[in-house]
Amino acid sequence: MNHLLEINELEQRFDVSPGFFDRLKIRNGRLRYQKSIVHAVNGVNFQIDRGEVFGLVGESGCGKSTIAKTIIKLYEPVAGQIKIDGEDITSYDYKKMIPVRKIVQMIFQDPYASLNPRIKVLDIITEPMAIGGAALGKAEIREKAMELLRRVGLGKEHVNRYPHQFSGGQRQRIGIARALSVEPELVIADEPVSALDVSIQAQILNLMMDLKDEFGFSYLFITHDLSVVRHISDRIGVMYLGFLVETGPCDDVFLNPRHPYTKALLSAAPSVGEKLHIDPLDIKGEVPTALELPPGCSFQTRCPFAFDRCIQERPRLISRVSDRMEACHLLDN
Ligand code: SF4
């Protein structure tokens, strides 16, 4: 059976070069034209099955959101393959993506920026159904939208209001209703609660999980918040500098992190490291710039266990124990 989502060797880069004259550099006495390329996503592989919640974690800027936007083709991938239910959508254009957007929907971090401020709530929710060519009449589409609004905790009195007339939590409820209006099989949630007040984060998370149980879709859940990811995920992937460095069942990874970066990340989070008694692992320095990836392992400039092979050879994400994968030479020994 096909995976619902399959990502193979996905690469994403962005040209952030300054103006033409600023790119000219003198090197070895010769004038050179130098580009600045951000290596945002580097050979990432993972799969998500039906009904599964896959949490993607890592520090800000590690490429998580770029992967999400590449999957739904807001960015064209530079290399690699994206498959939805076995269908290769990597080279699909806008028109070919229309039916795919009925299968894959996205909930964005900033609910205000992702909602059209000039459209009333009812139209925001019915719009994806109309674009997707739902085989429903106008009255049925309206009825379905009203039911979705009720299901996310809003009512009749809200349908003719504009996004700016709602709180952040309510706007995210509208974003969730809009995503679910086409009955997707996969919902990509990109930091869906991090822009919200702490007091309502739990309400929105509980709503999202209740809806998943009710409708039976899968989540690709992107967050930097380890306690959130532990609460909701079946499996997780840990990212560092655009590379996926460890994957596995959520509880296994939290109780027994195997990659040095995962250990450092978990032990540094007070809500996780102390509770699970993970030995502190201090890492030195800052995350290197994605403009110039270090040779070999992406983590070698900060890893306390780095040895010669780490500088010479990029580790591949491979499985050494059942259900787990890590990209680390140390685990080969
Ligand atoms: Fe550390 Fe080497 Fe493993 Fe990279 S491959 S995480 S540098 S031990």
Could you please report the per-residue DSSP string of 255-320? HS--SHHHHHHHHH-HHHHTTTTPPP----S-PPPTTSPPSS-TTTTT-TT--HHHHHSPPP-B-S
For ligand 1, atom 6, name the residue with the nearest CA.
Answer: 328
Residue 216 lies in a domain: no
Mean pLDDT value of segment 205-213: 96
* 328 C-beta closer than 6 A to ligand 1: yes
Atom of ligand 1 nearest to the CA of 315: 5
pLDDT at residue number 237: 98
User: How many angstroms does the Cα of residue 244 sit away from the middle of ligand 1?
Assistant: 13
Q: 51: helix, coil or strand? A: coil
Mean pLDDT value of segment 101-114: 89
Concatenated DSSP letters of 55-119:
EEE-STTSSHHHHHHHHTTSS--SEEEEEETTEE-TT--HHHHHHHHHHEEEE-S-TTTTS-TTS
* 232 C-beta closer than 6 A to ligand 1: no
User: How many angstroms does the Cα of residue 249 sit away from the middle of ligand 1?
Assistant: 21
- Structural domains in the chain (count): 1
pLDDT at residue number 17: 81
Going by C-alpha positions, the residue among 202, 136, 281 that lies closest to residue 273 is 281
For residue 245, is pLDDT > 90? Answer: yes
Residue 107 lies in a domain: no
For residue 23, is pLDDT > 80? Answer: no
Task: Report which of residues 132 and 106 the model is more confident about.
Answer: 106
Question: Token pair for residue 252?
Answer: 């296994």
Mean pLDDT value of segment 102-122: 89
User: How many angstroms does the Cα of residue 322 sit away from the middle of ligand 1?
Assistant: 21
- Category of 288 on φ-ψ map: left (φ > 0), alpha (ψ -120 to 50) or beta: beta
Mean pLDDT value of segment 26-52: 87
Residue 321 lies in a domain: yes
User: How many angstroms does the Cα of residue 243 sit away from the middle of ligand 1?
Assistant: 13
**What residue numbers bound the domain in which 318 lies?**
237-333
Residue 324 lies in a domain: yes
pLDDT at residue number 273: 63
Write the pLDDT tens digit of every residue in 287-320: 889 998 999 999 999 999 999 999 999 999 999 9
User: How many angstroms does the Cα of residue 332 sit away from the middle of ligand 1?
Assistant: 11
Atom of ligand 1 nearest to the CA of 310: 2
Residue 136 lies in a domain: no
Mean pLDDT value of segment 261-270: 89
pLDDT at residue number 328: 98
* 125 C-beta closer than 6 A to ligand 1: no
pLDDT at residue number 21: 65
For residue 80, is pLDDT > 80? Answer: yes
**CA 206 to mean position of chain CA atoms:** 19
Atom of ligand 1 nearest to the CA of 309: 2
Residue 132: pLDDT band by 50, 70, 90 thresholds? low
Residue 255 lies in a domain: yes
pLDDT at residue number 140: 87
Residue 199: pLDDT band by 50, 70, 90 thresholds? confident
**In the chain, what percentage of residues exceed pLDDT 90?**
72
Residue 64 lies in a domain: no
Residue 249 lies in a domain: yes
Could you tell me the pTM of the whole model?
0.91
For residue 214, is pLDDT > 90? Answer: yes
